Structure 1
């Protein structure tokens, strides 16, 4: 099945920051669907160069509620919005405003039907969220439903304002609490105006014996947690949320129970009206997670040992290079040291990561001083990075780092006259579809009649093989407009990258 990254890469040409924002919206929208008792659909407009005709409005993601029946028996992802079936979606794109079904208005306790909310990023509408309720299953207007729908309306307004989700938020889908796990609504002063039965049960398990209604939730929670430092932290977390200082969800322990707490400020139209707190009792889940944590630690230890072994190999090659008297052999050994070191850096990053993902910016920033040191032996060359590479899966990060290392080293060795200072710049930019990297040098340019395919340099042969076989990308070398040489690398992302999506 196509992921959101796949569909955005196929149909749009959104910048990396906009893609990140849509990913954050999708990361948060299960809570929104549950609070709305409605299906949530994400729509985008297709761009030139994508699949099909440009300017169409297409659904790229769908979320069904766990608190109600779905409004769509079939999957809607991949369908095009028509004037007859989804006129409100097209109108929301055209006007950049909230569009509701005819005769339907926002009202506490009334489930949404045929609504469309623009999704803004940096003041620009980059998508539309639609909410549709299954009207064949009418719900009673209970206090729980009113509290849910009222909070959902505020969250939708914040998405339309472009203030939610924040860039700092990163929801962990399998551990973040849902509305059905336990729901609490706070007023601007932090007093509880509604608490669902599941939320009350979670607090009772932590030792609370009274009703939460009307109480200061931060003070109540602080009194239940036995650890003094943890109790102050969770109280500060709830109070900071009401002061519009977002933070990550917290895991607290009290009287043998483990509960995850997540608080979200409600700030529609820039005015704080309270907060939503969702809680989940994870006492039993926590016991099983301890075994998984042990496995994760083992995997990280393996990466750490691989890194150590590679560094040992690099040290042995370096020692051999110093002892050999053959200049050609010394150069080959030095190049091998550099290649092994670049792979070791990837494993070093993985040894400190909780998942099999690599922040390529961190790796490149650690590689730059190494390459600069090698260059400074004979020629004063400066190596620098511009732009962001983003996060890649470990499987694709290793060949990509190898390619960047070879291209930079190739520029250092062949682009400049002996003793003449110069600069090599790595410029990275990414969209929903591709990562573009330009390795630019301000040197003497390509030799007359240079042909990348016919070149017998080992470094360029390695690069061509990795780009074609491991990255499914393209590579070109040509003269830069202002002098020097540009090595242009293009790596497809999403579905076009056969080894899975990456994010910036």
Structure 2
């Protein structure tokens, strides 16, 4: 099944920052679906469709855990139609929240056919729709009203472009859900509503009274036995109310372990309080210890692989210093560079929990090494512009190898002996592609040069990795301002079948 990244790559030309924002929206929207008692769908305009028709396609779907779904069938891939989703097209054209014609607010009832524009950088990049299963009517209890009030605020913040905020993916993925325990705070930090599950979690931590009317920061601080942790959690709640984002916390009190996450609510830019979700994970923590041990083992394996590769690189470097043959010395030096680049990927994985690699971090650590092992005598400046982003481990290793070879090729072959120069790595990431240009301000390509016919080992390695491992393309061309451009394009999503229409 295609992922959100695949569908965005297939149907849009959104820049990388907009794609990242939509990923954050999807990372948060289980909370929105649960608070809304509604299915939440993400719609984007298909870039290949004619402007006059404005084809809008669903690329993601989230069902609520607090109510019955409105769509038992899979909606992803369907096209918004005038009969089923007219509000989606209207929200996209008018760039505003579109609600049903029978009422402007929820009035204690879940939303029916509502569309919310998703803004990023001041532009509408997608639309969220909320749809409730009308065959299951809900009572207007205090819990339902508190949930829906919070959902309205979050939807307005999505339309304003102020939610979600930039947080770590692991923080979002492991956060409590609304059904685990929900607390609504006013602007002063006092509890105006606490769900039964939230109250049960606080009772397990030692609270003997109700939460409503109490200051949550002071109450939580009094329950936590560790003085440093109690100050930290109280400060986290106060900072959230002041619109200072932080990471969700895990607190312990009287043998209980509770996850707590707070979100400021500021629809229309005005702070109206905060939403807090909590979850009692006391029993879960006991079962997770075995998984944490396995995760630590995997990271230790990556650490040992990195150490072994560094040992190999050190032995090759030692052999290169003792070799009198210049050609052999150069081959050994190039091997040192290649082994070191792979070792850096494993070093990053040894500190990661999700088997993903931040290429910016790896490349920035690799650049000084490239300059050190270069065979040229004059230092060449190497710099990076733009962000390469995060890649899975299986794609990160060949990509780092390719970038290493291209930069090293420019350092060693683009400049006259003794001449200074600069090699610039320019990266641009969109929904579909990662485009990287390795530009040097050197002497340019030799007459009659052909990448396909080149016998340089480094370029042969690059061509093989780009074609076989990355499914990308590579070209070497004269730069517009002189020098040479190595142009690399790597697809970020799988090309799948076009959308189908479900009416």
TM range (shorter): over 0.9
CA-atom RMSD in angstroms? 1.6
Q: Is 1:191–1:217's contact at 8 Å kept on the other side of the alignment?
A: yes
Deviation digits for residues 26-62 of structure 1 (CA, Å, limit 9, x no counterpart): 11110100110111010000113x8999831000011
What is residue 67 of structure 2 aligned with on the other side? 68
- 2:285 aligns with 286
1:66-108 residue CA offsets vs partner (Å, 9 max, x unmatched): 1111111211110001112111100100010111112122134
Contact 2:381/2:423 (CA < 8 Å) preserved in 1?
yes
- Residue aligning to 1:28: 28
Q: Which residue of 1 aligns with 2:343?
A: 344
Report what 2:478 is aligned to.
479
**Distance across 2 between alignment mates of 1:483 and 1:91:** 49
CA deviation string 1:102-132 (max 9, x = no partner): 2122134121111001000010000001111
Name the residue aligned to 2:386.
387
Cα distance in structure 2, aligned partners of 1:381 and 1:174: 43
Report the counterpart of residue 461 of structure 2 in structure 1. 462
CA separation of 1:334/1:477 partners in 2, compared to 1, >3 Å: closer, same or farther? same
Aligned to 2:132: 133
Question: How far is the alpha carbon of 1:174 from its aligned partner?
Answer: 5.3
1:39–1:71 CA contact under 8 A, matched in 2: yes
Match of 2:179 in 1: 180
CA distance in 1, matches of 2:362, 2:71: 45
Q: Give yes or no for contact 1:47–1:54 (8 Å, CA) kept in 2.
A: no
Q: Distance in 2 between matches of 1:364 and 1:445?
A: 24
2:410 corresponds in structure 1 to 411
Measured against aligned partners, the alpha-carbon deviations of 1:186-234 in whole angstroms (never above 9, x if no partner) come to 1111111111111111111111110111111111111111000001111
Alpha-carbon distance between aligned partners in 1 of 2:20 and 2:53, rounded to the nearest angstrom:
22
Runs of 4+ in structure 1 off by over 4 angstroms are: 50-54, 171-174
Partner secondary structure for residue 277 of structure 1: strand
Mapped contact 1:24–1:169 kept (Cα < 8 A): no
CA-CA distance at 1:464 after TM superposition: 0.5
C-alpha distance 53-46 of structure 1, shift in aligned 2 (>3 A): farther
- Flag the 1:302–1:54 CA change in 2: closer, same or farther, 3 A: farther
Cross-structure match for 2:306: 307
The Cα shift of 1:378 comes to 1.1
Unaligned runs of 5+ in 1: 498-504
Separation in 1, partners of 2:125, 2:318: 55
Within 5 A, what are the aligned runs for 1:247-258? Answer: 247-258=246-257
State how far apart, in whole Å, the 2-side matches of 1:290 and 1:171 are.
17
Aligned to 2:369: 370
1:183–1:199 contact (8 Å) kept in structure 2: yes
Structure 2 gap segments, 5+ residues each: 497-503
What is the deviation of 1:168? 3.0
Separation in structure 2 between the aligned mates of residue 459 and residue 375 of structure 1, nearest angstrom: 14
| Count, aligned residues | 496
CA distance in 1, matches of 2:395, 2:188: 49
- SS where residue 494 of structure 1 aligns? coil
User: CA distance change for structure 1 residues 53 and 368 in 2, over 3 Å: closer, same or farther?
Assistant: farther
Alpha-carbon distance in structure 2 between the residues aligned to 1:90 and 1:473: 35
Q: What is the match of residue 196 of structure 1?
A: 195
Structure 2 partner of 1:104 = 103
- Distance in 2 (alpha carbons) for counterparts of 1:244 and 1:283: 29
CA distance in 2, matches of 1:466, 1:54: 41
Distance 1:54 1:357 in 2: 39
Q: How is 1:433-472 mapped onto 2 (pairs within 5 angstroms)?
A: 433-472=432-471
Structure 1 pair 185–423 and aligned structure 2 pair: CA distance change class (3 A): same
C-alpha separation in 1, matches of 2:106 and 2:86: 22
1:223 and 2:222 are equivalent in the alignment: yes
Whole-angstrom CA distance in 1 between matches of 2:307 and 2:50:
46
Match of 2:163 in 1: 164
3-state SS of paired residue (2:124): strand
